[in-house]
Structures are given as structure tokens and as C-alpha cells.
Amino acid sequence: MIDKKQVDEVLDLIRPALQADGGDVALVDVDDDGVVSVELQGACKGCPMSQLTLANSVERVLKERVPGVTKVVPAL
């Protein structure tokens, strides 16, 4: 089982880069399969580059630093 606190701590490392562009990210959920649901906020919400941000920044860093994370998806 993935520790949500650990996921949130890693998101804290990513936040400054997103906040520099007027955005942010919030943890919504972590399921038993290692799928992390996040909500992009501010300028990141609805940005055409948001999928790239999720894949190349958020997902990559979470997979590197939190064992068991398999995927990061936008919350519905």
C-alpha cells in the first residue's frame, strides 16, 4: 500500500515549478493499484500542456521516489 503522506511530500517538491507558472497540483487519491489521482490547479488547469506536465514531471518524479506508483492520472 502506498503512503499518501509520502506522495504528498514528493508533490511538495514538484509544486514550486508549477507555482512559478501560476499553477499547482493537489493529491486527490491513491488506489490499491498504485494509480495516483491529482488535480491540476490554477494556470495548469485546462492548459494544453497539462498532459505533458503530468507525464514528464509529476508522474516521472513520483515513480522515481515513491515505490509502488504505477501511473498518475487527472482526477475526474
Q: How does pLDDT run across 11-39, given as a tens digit for each residue?
A: 999 999 999 999 999 999 999 999 999 99
pLDDT at position 16: 96
* Beta pairing partners, 36: 30, 72
Name the strand (E) or helix (H) holding 24. Answer: strand 23-30
* Grid cell for residue 25: 497540483
* Radius of gyration for the alpha carbons in the chain, expressed in angstroms and rounded: 11
Stated pTM of the model: 0.92
Binned at pLDDT 50, 70 and 90, residue 1 comes out as confident
pLDDT at position 27: 97
The CATH superfamily assigned to 4-74 is Fe-S cluster assembly (FSCA) (3.30.300.130)
Contact 66, 10 (CB under 8 A): yes
